[in-house]
Chains A and B, each alone.
Chain A
Amino acid sequence: GESVGLHLPTLSVQEGDNSIINCAYSNSASDYFIWYKQESGKGPQFIIDIRSNMDKRQGQRVTVLLNKTVKHLSLQIAATQPGDSAVYFCAESYGGYQKVTFGIGTKLQVIP
């Protein structure tokens, strides 16, 4: 399944299916992007990052795709598991600043 939108959307996927979570970022000068996962009652947890000189990066069961032309970022989760249920945030930053701007999250619900 896929999700788009700027308000906290909910994406429901069947266990075992692939998930795609989308994010539109705002600053064309951003050069570093991060995906975070936030479980209920916990703080955000780093999943994967990508720099602007790349368009794809793979981790364990996760892939991040970056399209700078349309300022779009996506997180693909392969073989989604119940433990993947959480709110997912994309974040962007630029230059040498510490400021990170978070996007509006997407809630992923995995149906067993």
Chain B
Amino acid sequence: DTAVSQTPKYLVTQMGNDKSIKCEQNLGHDTMYWYKQDSKKFLKIMFSYNNKELIINETVPNRFSPKSPDKAHLNLHINSLELGDSAVYFCASSQGGGGIAQHFGDGTRLSIL
């Protein structure tokens, strides 16, 4: 059973398009996250939700909009995709916050043409 699952695994699209990445966790955790990992493997937090409420919103363009329909799901919608959005996006979850050990999905590799 996959604990944190993201779909799709690969996403190739044209600049200017709008796309969504879905994330689901079956661990019963109350906190979920989105991270962006660039080509140099640098991992940076984008958003964090606790019980469907936005807790962390780092300096991310407002083209990125997270949505949490329930505490088991955190989706990421991206409008007007740009070349610089090409990266691997990771979803993660944890029980509680405070940086406690997070469980990560296997990532969505987004490539902008």
A residues neighboring B (CB under 8 Å): 8, 32, 34, 38, 41-46, 49, 87, 89, 91-102, 104-105
Contact = CB atoms under 8 A, between A and B. Distances in A.
B66 interface: no
B45 A100 contact: yes
A39 to B, nearest CB: 10
A98 B33 contact: yes
Contacts of B4: 43
B103 A46 contact: yes
B90 A43 contact: yes
Interface string B76-100: 0000000000000010101001111
Given A8-B40, A8-B41, A99 B99 contact: yes
Interface residues of B, number: 28
Contact of B43 (A32, A41, A89): A89
Contacts of B97: 96-98
Contacts of B33: 98
Nearest to B90: A43
Given A97-B56, A98-B48, 9 more contacts: A8-B40, A8-B41, A41-B106, A43-B4, A96-B98, A98-B56, A98-B99, A101-B45, A105-B41
Query: Which residue among A41, A44, A94 has the maximum number of chain B CB atoms within 10 Å of its CB?
Result: A44
Given A43-B90, A43-B92, A100 B106 contact: no
